[in-house]
């Protein structure tokens, strides 16, 4: 596998990578933002801006794995809501916060495990429809628990997740970077990661070569649930309270980031680095446009367009290549 | 699916044959139970109310069924509905003397436009339906907010003739019900008795062989999403007219309810099968649930959980029945 993929290193193909496109886009966004608002390019501002958009970014890591597996999980936002609401509710009942946090993480993992189990046990059902129904169920449970109430006034130390600094760097940024490194290593340096690519490229062949595809899927979906619970921790901490309709639409943001990060929706392709750049790209775009009071709806349109264009570009490319090949080969024959 | 030489039909095969009958039976049992708990359920007013409320859902379910038959899914219909409803409401607000027919036409046209763009992205650029419709959902929703400037169009800004579209009645039957019935007849004919209609099923059950047998695969996919858009546009005008208010967040998340109606009605999520009669029953079942749960004092906060569980159960049941049928067919082949 390794030997087959190792091509001759060429400068053009190195710079033609999707990640460089993202870096250029990222720089463009920043230049535009700097010109739009004099308040944009300050260290403190940019540093604190990361606190506002990084919470949902934790779900991006497992979503990359899931989409490389050719699946999708649209229940993640509902898992965030359920984990967060359950944690808040238990705390309001007098459960110590430390225990509530553990239960929050366990709930997330359990929800993800259930998703994975349903997908593995009912192979004829696509992940879309399974996670669509669990998405309604999980948020439905959150509504059953809290109805239209909200809970809050968490202990002081809990605020550290969302607002804390560690040597002048936001804690959430540190956590994000550490997890980014962990997930990159997992995907790019371990057998586990290579197997995920293999499953995404050809699930049947991978199963016949002795990889336990079902077990891998279970693990990845459970990870998605767990990371959704991590998001719930940071989000709840930053907001200081929680309600059942929290994190609405996060699944779209996360999928937009992953797709923009160059992870192919056909499975088997993409790298963690691209998704991480896309997180900051969308985050800073949102922060900069927020500074100049751009309405949130315009931003919705921009993100929607980015998402659609990002998926269309790689799909259009192979066709163009095939065309040039087809047009070349007859002339080649004629010449021969 | 129907075998002509059935000697010993398995249980699952029987279920799959009488799916509609079973669903109908379930609806009747549910109605009887609810009627015992609360006597005001089976009154003419309540039934009329319930069917009127179900009409919009069932119109959308037709389009969603077409999409699901071709192995797709459309998450943007709530946003298309809101956009079409908002623009037609703004138009009648600006020109109160306009014949309401034009408002309906405008809504359908906007819906068709949205659907055509979406269809192009999916059919020509080969983008996965779920991703493309998610992206377009963002765009349509954003456009709705932009054309309205974030404001609502409320009842007093709409002329009476516009509100009449959904509240008026013809021969004692509500317009909404009539429109839904007409749509059902048109699409029943289209799906079962026209070449294009049959091609939709062919594309859904086996895209590869459909292509090889000369069916214009891409054009069918494009057509399906365009029709879905047109129906969403129609539903948007009806929705705004019925509730006499157009908002930026109209029908947020409604696409899930529509998908639920299809799945309950036995539309196979893996594509290739689905019947008009099934989705009528699916929509009615959801309508009854929404109407009956408050009547028997189930907290509204339980509705979402119950609805989700029912979808999941229906999907799993469908899968199990399909498994049984396949297994049976396999066994027969071996003998």
Note the pLDDT of residue A322.
46
Using the beta-carbon criterion (under 8 Å), do A300 and B121 form an inter-chain contact? no
For B85, the token pair is 């409803």
Better-scored residue on pLDDT, B110 or B148 = B110
pLDDT at A321 over 70: no
Q: Which residues pair with A169 in a beta bridge?
A: A166
Give the pLDDT band (50/70/90) at residue B3: very low
- Chain B partners within 8 Å of A307 (Cβ): 131, 134-135, 138
CATH number of the structural domain spanning residue B110 = 1.10.3470.10
pLDDT tens by residue, B237-268? 998 888 877 777 777 778 888 888 888 888 88
For residue A129, what is the nearest residue in chain B, using CA coordinates?
Answer: B269
Note the pLDDT of residue A16.
64
Using the beta-carbon criterion (under 8 Å), do B142 and A252 form an inter-chain contact? no
Give the total residue count for chain A. 336
pLDDT tens by residue, B171-193? 767 788 888 889 999 999 998 88
**B277 within domain boundaries:** no
Note the pLDDT of residue A9.
59
Interatomic CA distance for residues B104 and A336, integer angstroms: 63
Using the beta-carbon criterion (under 8 Å), do B134 and A255 form an inter-chain contact? yes
Using the beta-carbon criterion (under 8 Å), do A265 and B269 form an inter-chain contact? no
**B24 within domain boundaries:** no
Better-scored residue on pLDDT, A45 or B82 = B82
- Give the mutation candidate from A308, A312, A313, A319 for the B interface (greatest B CB count, under 10 A): A308
CB pairs A-B closer than 8 Å: 140
For residue B298, what is the nearest residue in chain A, using CA coordinates?
Answer: A144
- The domain in which residue B124 lies consists of 45-252
Better-scored residue on pLDDT, B15 or B253 = B253
- The domain in which residue A42 lies consists of 17-312
Interatomic CA distance for residues B64 and B66, integer angstroms: 5
pLDDT at A7 over 60: no
CB atoms within 10 A of CB B160: 11
Mean pLDDT over the full length of chain A: 83
- Chain B partners within 8 Å of A305 (Cβ): 135, 139
For residue A136, what is the nearest residue in chain B, using CA coordinates?
Answer: B308
Dihedral of alpha carbons B304, B309, B310, B311, sign: positive
Give the closest residue to A187 by CA, choosing from A175, A205, A199, A204.
A199
**A324 within domain boundaries:** no
* Total domains present in chain A: 1
Least confident of A31-40, A72-81, A206-215, B101-110: A31-40
**B219 within domain boundaries:** yes
Highest average pLDDT, of A173-187, A241-255, A317-331, B302-316, comes from: A173-187
- Give the mutation candidate from B131, B264, B316 for the A interface (greatest A CB count, under 10 A): B131
pLDDT at A279 over 80: yes
Mean pLDDT over the full length of chain B: 82
Give the closest residue to A244 by CA, choosing from A85, A119, A126.
A85
pLDDT tens by residue, B84-117? 998 988 888 788 777 888 888 999 999 999 999 9
pLDDT at B2 over 50: no
Using the beta-carbon criterion (under 8 Å), do B305 and A304 form an inter-chain contact? no
Using the beta-carbon criterion (under 8 Å), do B131 and A133 form an inter-chain contact? no
For residue B71, what is the nearest residue in chain A, using CA coordinates?
Answer: A126
**A205 within domain boundaries:** yes
A170: left (phi over 0), alpha (psi -120 to 50) or beta: beta
Note the pLDDT of residue A2.
44
Mark out the alpha helices in A37-75 (DSSP H runs): 43-53, 60-68
- The alpha-carbon gap from A225 to the nearest alpha carbon of chain B, in Å, equals 18
Give the closest residue to B256 by CA, choosing from B66, B50, B74.
B74
Q: Is A136 on the interface with B (CB under 8 A)?
A: yes
**B60 within domain boundaries:** yes
**A322 within domain boundaries:** no
Interatomic CA distance for residues B131 and B126, integer angstroms: 11
Least confident of A40-44, A180-184, A319-323, B102-106: A319-323
Angle value at C-alpha B17, between B14 and B23, nearest 5 degrees: 100
- The alpha-carbon gap from B164 to the nearest alpha carbon of chain A, in Å, equals 31
* Total domains present in chain B: 1
Note the pLDDT of residue A335.
37
- Chain A partners within 8 Å of B270 (Cβ): 124-126
- Give the mutation candidate from A66, A74, A122, A133 for the B interface (greatest B CB count, under 10 A): A133
Number of helices and strands in chain A (H, E):
16, 4
Q: Is A89 on the interface with B (CB under 8 A)?
A: no
Q: Which residues neighbour A13 within 8 Å (Cβ) at sequence distance 6 or greater? A: A7
Whole-number percent of chain A with pLDDT over 90:
34
Angle value at C-alpha B304, between A250 and A218, nearest 5 degrees: 55
Using the beta-carbon criterion (under 8 Å), do B269 and A316 form an inter-chain contact? no
**B69 within domain boundaries:** yes
Indicate the residue of A135, A136, A147 with minimum beta-carbon distance to B301: A147
Using the beta-carbon criterion (under 8 Å), do A265 and B308 form an inter-chain contact? no
- Chain B partners within 8 Å of A256 (Cβ): 134-135, 138
**A284 within domain boundaries:** yes
- Chain A partners within 8 Å of B125 (Cβ): 311-312, 315-316
- Give the mutation candidate from A128, A142, A286, A300 for the B interface (greatest B CB count, under 10 A): A300
Note the pLDDT of residue A197.
92
Least confident of A50-54, A115-119, B15-19, B259-263: B15-19
pLDDT tens by residue, B197-220? 888 898 888 888 888 888 888 899
- ipTM entry: 0.78
What is the average per-residue pLDDT within A196-213? 90
pLDDT tens by residue, A17-36? 777 778 888 888 878 877 77
**A25 within domain boundaries:** yes
- Give the mutation candidate from B253, B301, B309 for the A interface (greatest A CB count, under 10 A): B301
Note the pLDDT of residue A81.
94
CATH number of the structural domain spanning residue A286 = 1.10.3470
For residue A141, what is the nearest residue in chain B, using CA coordinates?
Answer: B305
**A12 within domain boundaries:** no
Whole-number percent of chain B with pLDDT over 70:
93
What is the average per-residue pLDDT within A300-304? 83
Give the pLDDT band (50/70/90) at residue A332: very low
Distance of CA B201 to the CA centre of its chain: 17
- The alpha-carbon gap from A300 to the nearest alpha carbon of chain B, in Å, equals 5
């Amino acid at each position: 596998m390794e030997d087959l993929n190792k091509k001759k290193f060429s400068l053009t193909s190195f710079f033609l990578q999707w990640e460089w496109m993202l870096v250029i886009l990222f720089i463009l966004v920043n230049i535009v933002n700097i010109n739009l608002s004099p308040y944009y390019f300050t260290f403190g501002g940019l540093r604190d801006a990361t606190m506002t958009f990084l919470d949902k970014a934790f779900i991006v890591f497992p979503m990359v794995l899931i989409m490389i597996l050719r699946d999708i999980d649209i229940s993640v936002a509902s898992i965030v809501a359920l984990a967060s609401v359950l944690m808040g509710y238990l705390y309001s009942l007098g459960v110590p916060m430390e225990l509530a946090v553990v239960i929050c993480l366990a709930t997330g993992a359990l929800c993800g495990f259930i998703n994975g189990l349903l997908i593995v046990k009912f192979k004829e059902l696509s992940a879309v429809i399974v996670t669509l129904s669990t998405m309604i169920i999980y948020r439905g449970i959150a509504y059953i628990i809290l109805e239209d109430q909200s809970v809050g006034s968490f202990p002081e130390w809990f605020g550290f997740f969302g607002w804390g600094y560690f040597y002048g760097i936001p804690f959430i940024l540190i956590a994000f970077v550490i997890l980014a490194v962990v997930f990159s290593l997992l995907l790019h340096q371990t057998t586990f990661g290579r197997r995920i690519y293999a499953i995404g490229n050809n699930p049947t062949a991978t199963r016949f070569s002795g990889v336990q595809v079902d077990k891998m899927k279970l693990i990845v979906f459970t990870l998605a649930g767990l990371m959704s619970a991590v998001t719930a921790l940071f989000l709840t901490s930053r907001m200081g309270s929680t309600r059942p309709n929290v994190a609405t639409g996060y699944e779209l943001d996360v999928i937009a980031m992953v797709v923009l990060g160059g992870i192919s929706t056909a499975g088997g392709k993409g790298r963690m680095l691209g998704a991480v750049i896309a997180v900051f790209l969308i985050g800073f775009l949102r922060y900069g446009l927020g500074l100049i009071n751009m309405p949130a709806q315009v931003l919705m349109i921009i993100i929607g367009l980015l998402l659609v264009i990002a998926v269309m570009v790689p799909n259009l490319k192979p066709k163009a290549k095939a065309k040039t090949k087809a047009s070349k080969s007859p002339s080649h024959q004629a010449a021969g | 699916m129907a075998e002509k030489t059935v000697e010993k039909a398995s249980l699952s095969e029987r279920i799959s044959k009488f799916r509609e009958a079973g669903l109908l039976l379930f609806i009747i049992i549910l109605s009887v139970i609810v009627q015992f708990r609360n006597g005001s359920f089976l009154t003419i007013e309540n039934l009329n109310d319930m069917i009127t409320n179900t009409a919009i859902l069932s119109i959308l379910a037709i389009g969603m069924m077409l999409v699901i038959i071709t192995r797709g899914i459309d998450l943007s219909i709530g946003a298309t509905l809101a956009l079409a409803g908002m623009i037609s409401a703004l138009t009648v607000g600006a020109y109160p003397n306009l014949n309401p027919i034009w408002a309906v036409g405008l809504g359908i046209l906007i819906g068709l436009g949205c659907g055509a763009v979406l269809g192009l992205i999916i059919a020509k650029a080969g983008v996965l339906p779920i991703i493309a419709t998610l992206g377009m959902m963002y765009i349509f929703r954003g456009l709705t907010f932009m054309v309205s400037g974030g404001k609502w169009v409320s009842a007093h800004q709409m002329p009476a003739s516009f509100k009449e579209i959904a509240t008026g009645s013809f021969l004692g039957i509500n317009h909404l019900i009539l429109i839904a019935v007409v749509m059902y007849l048109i699409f029943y004919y289209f799906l079962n008795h026209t070449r294009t209609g049959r091609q939709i099923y062919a594309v859904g059950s086996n895209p590869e062989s459909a292509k090889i047998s000369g069916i214009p695969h891409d054009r069918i996919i494009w057509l399906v999403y365009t029709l879905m858009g047109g129906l969403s546009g129609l539903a948007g005008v009806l929705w705004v007219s019925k509730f006499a208010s157009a908002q930026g967040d109209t029908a947020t998340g409604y696409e899930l309810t529509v998908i639920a109606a299809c799945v309950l009605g036995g539309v196979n999520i893996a594509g290739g099968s689905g019947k008009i009669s099934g989705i009528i029953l699916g929509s009615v079942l959801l309508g009854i649930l929404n109407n009956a749960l408050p009547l028997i004092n189930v907290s509204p906060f339980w509705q979402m959980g119950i609805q989700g569980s029912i979808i999941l159960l229906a999907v799993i049941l469908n899968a199990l029945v399909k498994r049984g049928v396949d297994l049976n067919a396999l066994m027969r082949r071996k003998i």
